[in-house]
């Protein structure tokens, strides 16, 4: 499915611009620069479908991608959070947009929460996890950029992340460790996304 048709659908700066709620959606959330856009490119086998950048906070809208022919899943690339230079207004806007989307979106089947494997879960990640728990949106935790750390450090991060995830009501069991660079964990993530969309 992910090797088939994938198209950028639209960018929604506000809830009034959301696509019609007709297709199961999967949303990607994570700190700015954690690798959301890169992961969308990796799971869909595209080089530059979602714009990646070194500038944190580049993505500020909800960006939708259609996957499959016939259309089967819609991916939502959510704006990144938690970068130091973010103006207060922008943080406020982010909170409203994301919270409203998470609470009001019936077709949202799962969120994927990306955690940088070098840093583990940070307070800003707990904020989005709190929002997801509050909205009762089931979420899958995914570690990113595992090509950048040693296996021993990865083991420690996996253990700490799983321990915290187990205490959270809406967290889906398990943890997928990925690298968009090497492709590790990408097939597992695809499978998890498909299962969530079809459930
Ligand atoms: P925002 O849109 O600002 O929230 O960022 P994002 O989460 O979409 O991150 P993006 O995919 O743009 O990646 C940020 C930077 O990390 C880019 O320079 C990517 O090339 C790099 N990057 C992403 N994933 C990986 C990975 O798995 N391994 C390595 N080594 N670098 C990665
Ligand atoms: Mg991005």
- 12, 32, 88, 171 from 197: Cα distances, Å: 21, 25, 34, 16
ipTM of the complex: 0.98
- pLDDT of the residue at 46: 85
Question: Any idea what DSSP says for residue 81?
Answer: B
Share of the chain above pLDDT 70, in %: 95
Binding-site residues, ligand 1, Cβ < 6 A: 30, 32-38, 52-54, 56-59, 80, 144-145, 147-148, 179-181
Q: Which atom of ligand 1 is nearest to the CA of 80?
A: 4
Placement of tokens 């889906």 in the chain = 172
CA-closest candidate to residue 149, choices 191, 113, 118:
118
- pLDDT of the residue at 69: 84
Which of 9-23, 27-41, 73-87, 141-155 is least confident?
Answer: 73-87
- pLDDT of the residue at 158: 98
* Alpha-carbon radius of gyration of the chain: 15
> How do the domains of the chain map onto residue ranges?
6-198
Q: Please, what CATH class does the domain formed by 6-198 belong to?
A: alpha beta
Confidence of residue 177 (pLDDT cuts 50, 70, 90): very high
Query: pTM value?
Result: 0.94
* Residue 29 CA to ligand 2 centre (angstroms): 10
Query: What's the angle, vertex CA 69, arms to CA 66 and CA 71, rounded to 5?
Result: 45
In whole angstroms, give the CA distance from residue 91 to residue 121. 19
* Residue 50 CA to ligand 2 centre (angstroms): 7
Confidence of residue 2 (pLDDT cuts 50, 70, 90): confident
Which ligand places an atom closest to the C-alpha of 180? Answer: 1
- pLDDT of the residue at 53: 66
In 29-122, which residue ranges form alpha helices assigned H by DSSP?
Answer: 36-43, 88-104
Cis peptide before 70 (omega within 30 of 0): yes
Residue 192 has pLDDT above 80, yes or no: yes
- pLDDT of the residue at 57: 61
Confidence of residue 119 (pLDDT cuts 50, 70, 90): very high
């Amino acid at each position: 499915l992910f090797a088939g048709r994938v198209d950028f659908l639209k960018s929604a700066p506000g809830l009034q611009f959301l696509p019609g709620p007709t297709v199961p959606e999967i949303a990607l959330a994570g700190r700015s620069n954690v690798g959301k856009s890169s992961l969308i490119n990796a799971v869909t086998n595209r080089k530059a479908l979602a714009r990646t950048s070194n500038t944190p906070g580049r993505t500020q809208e909800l960006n939708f991608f259609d996957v499959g022919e016939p259309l089967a899943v819609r991916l939502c690339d959510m704006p990144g959070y938690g970068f130091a230079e973010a103006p207060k207004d922008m943080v406020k806007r982010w909170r409203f947009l994301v919270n409203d989307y998470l609470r009001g979106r019936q077709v949202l089947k799962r969120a994927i929460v990306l955690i940088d494997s070098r840093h583990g879960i940070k307070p800003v990640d707990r904020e989005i996890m709190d929002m997801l728990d509050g909205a009762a949106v089931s979420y899958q935790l995914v570690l990113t950029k595992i090509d950048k750390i040693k296996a021993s450090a990865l083991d420690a991060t996996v253990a700490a992340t799983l321990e915290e995830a187990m205490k959270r009501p809406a967290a889906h069991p398990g943890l997928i460790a990925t690298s968009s660079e090497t492709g590790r964990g990408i097939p597992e993530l695809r499978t998890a996304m498909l299962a969530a969309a079809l459930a």
